[in-house]
Structure 1
Amino acid sequence: MSTNFLRVARSTFRQTTTYKPSHFASTRYFHSTSPKMTVHNITSTEGFKEALAQNKTIMLDCFATWCGPCKAIAPILANHSNDEKFKDIFFAKIDVDDLPELSQELGITAMPTFMIFKDGKMEPAEKLVGANPNALATMLKTHA
């Protein structure tokens, strides 16, 4: 009962006093830097083949929106994509539910699956199945 009273009191305080967050925002100096690279979302088979032709090395993340381990490792992959060590790798991801033909062609059997493609070849140079951050970092270092 007392916690509800405090919530109401705080809410009332904000509404009745001159509490305006915009006054504080002018004194804070925020800057946003755009990431050097990102993980590109590929939405078609043609888009994947085009990326394969245009980039020397591709890291492909095959994921599903309902997959818990996929959600857990996605920020780690995004951090790697912004790392200067991996600047020559094109990071991409496909949703296996949206592209079932491509998933079948690549032989995806579990999520997440990470694949490295080199020199425009449709055959992966290396494949990692599962959300293993250490193995993912090792795989990237090997092909960087």
Structure 2
Amino acid sequence: MTVHNIETVSQFKEAIASHKIVVLDAFAVWCGPCKAIAPQIAKWSESEEFKDIYFAKFDVDHLPELAQELGVRAMPTFVIFKDGNKETEVVGANPPALVAAFQKVKAE
């Protein structure tokens, strides 16, 4: 897998409809913590442990309507969906919290 770039709201809706678990990274190009966590997200997207998770990202400045719909107030915000429904979110570049959230949603 890789981290897929979401360019439109319809791409977002298709992603959560067609994948069991989706991790959506709401980022901004000017955001330092977003840049810092991006390589780790890419590694997780390639890992065996998280092979069942679809990793995607979108730029909040390019899709402000999606950021507003999801209630994104800080970057990065990671929103995790399962079966098309929002399960949880992690605000900030916090690798231990992200791994715990991924594992929890996978186990449910």
How many angstroms does 1:120 deviate by? 1.4
Cα deviation code 1:44-67 (max 9, x no counterpart): 000000111111110000000000
For residues 22 and 89 of structure 2, the distance between their equivalents in structure 1, rounded to whole angstroms, comes to 12
Q: How does 1:99-118 map to 2 (within 5 A)?
A: 99-118=63-82
- Written as runs of structure 1 = structure 2, the 5 A alignment for 1:1-144 is 37-121=1-85, 124-144=86-106
Q: Is the 8 A contact 2:27 2:76 kept in 1?
A: yes
Which residue identity does 2:100 align to in structure 1?
A: T
Offset, 1:140: 1.3
Q: Which amino acid aligns with 1:102?
A: L
- 3-state SS, counterpart of residue 84 of structure 1: coil
Aligned-partner Cα distance in 1 for 2:16–2:102:
17
User: Shift of the alpha carbon at 1:96?
Assistant: 0.3
Higher relative contact order (CA 8 A, sep 6+): 2
Distance 1:115 1:94 in 2: 11
- State the shift of 1:93 in Å: 0.3
Deviation at 1:141, TM superposition (A): 1.6
Deviations 1:27-79 (CA, angstroms, capped at 9, x unpaired):
xxxxxxxxxx1000000000000111111110000000000000000001111
- Give the root-mean-square deviation of aligned CA atoms: 0.7
Partner residue in 2 for 1:17: none
Structure 2 portions without partners, runs of 5+: none
Distance 2:87 2:94 in 1: 18
TM-score (norm. length: structure 2): 0.95
Structure that is richer in strand per residue = 2
